[in-house]
Chains A and B, each alone.
Chain A
């Protein structure tokens, strides 16, 4: 079945550590996105990528980094520079450049700083 897989589902991080969230898709989509969701709030765009080896900052990119070495993979690193990383992180993919195509989402990773 085609879809997006995020791992792990739950992640605990000590202060000062970097952690990497995995996102893999087999939908053959060119565009991939990372969103952050805080409790009771909407989704805010962190980074997005249209093609391999290219990505752009979203609205809240500070303290995060990404890579896009393969079409199917778009990992997100939460660095120690991110002051308040505890949140729910959602990865999505879509066909770029077409207004009528929805984004498909993974199951999310819940990150907690301990």
Chain B
């Protein structure tokens, strides 16, 4: 079963605007971590932001913030003041740590392609 769902295959956003990328996840474990990665056309995976299942506050890192709604099992990424260099594929990922997976595989969604236009 799909653990991470990203329903937006692609998005266009104008420079300097904010964009929200959706991510929903499925887990029955109380302890998990959520990650967002950026993959430019060069192929490297760049870590952006992390949110823990027990964290009380939404994570922020510069222009990136995470809208974490635990009851809805969603972890949407918000990029503020978009720049041309933000054009890339964005992946949501989850790591569960539980008795059945004690060391925590990282599982990825299908990704959202973001294109920032001038």
List residues of A (52-104) whose CB comes within 8 Å of B's CBs.
58, 88, 90, 92, 94, 96-104
Q: Are B108 and A42 in contact (CB under 8 A)?
A: yes
A43 to B33, CA, bound (A): 17
Given A41-B111, A42-B91; A103-B44 close (CB under 8 Å): no
If A97-B103, A103-B106, A107-B44 are given as contacts, then 15 extra A-B residue pairs at C-beta distance below 8 Å, sorted by A number, are A31-B103, A45-B105, A92-B45, A94-B106, A97-B102, A97-B104, A99-B31, A99-B52, A99-B95, A99-B96, A99-B97, A99-B104, A100-B52, A105-B45, A108-B44
Please classify how large the interface on chain A is, using the bins under 10, 10 to 19, 20 to 34, 35 or more: 20 to 34
List, in ascending order, chain B residues with CB within 8 A of A41's CB.
110-111
- List chain A positions with a Cβ less than 8 A from chain B: 31, 33, 35, 40-45, 48, 50, 58, 88, 90, 92, 94, 96-105, 107-108, 110
Q: Are A45 and B44 in contact (CB under 8 A)?
A: no
List residues of B (100-118) whose CB comes within 8 Å of A's CBs.
102-111, 113
Cross-interface CB contact of B106 among A33, A97, A107, cutoff 8 Å: A33
How many A-B pairs have beta carbons closer than 8 Å: the answer is 66
List, in ascending order, chain A residues with CB within 8 A of B95's CB.
99
B35 at interface, CB cutoff 8 A: yes
Q: Considering only CB atoms, which chain B residue lies closest to A51 in the complex? A: B103
List, in ascending order, chain B residues with CB within 8 A of A96's CB.
103-104
Q: Are A102 and B47 in contact (CB under 8 A)?
A: yes
Q: Are B103 and A108 in contact (CB under 8 A)?
A: no
A107 to B40, CA, bound (A): 11
List, in ascending order, chain B residues with CB within 8 A of A104's CB.
47
List, in ascending order, chain B residues with CB within 8 A of A33's CB.
105-106
Q: Are A102 and B110 in contact (CB under 8 A)?
A: no
A103 to B111, CA, bound (A): 17
A-B contacts, 19 of them at CB < 8 A, read: A35-B108, A40-B111, A40-B113, A42-B108, A42-B110, A42-B111, A43-B108, A44-B108, A45-B107, A58-B105, A90-B45, A99-B32, A100-B50, A102-B47, A103-B35, A105-B45, A107-B42, A107-B44, A108-B43
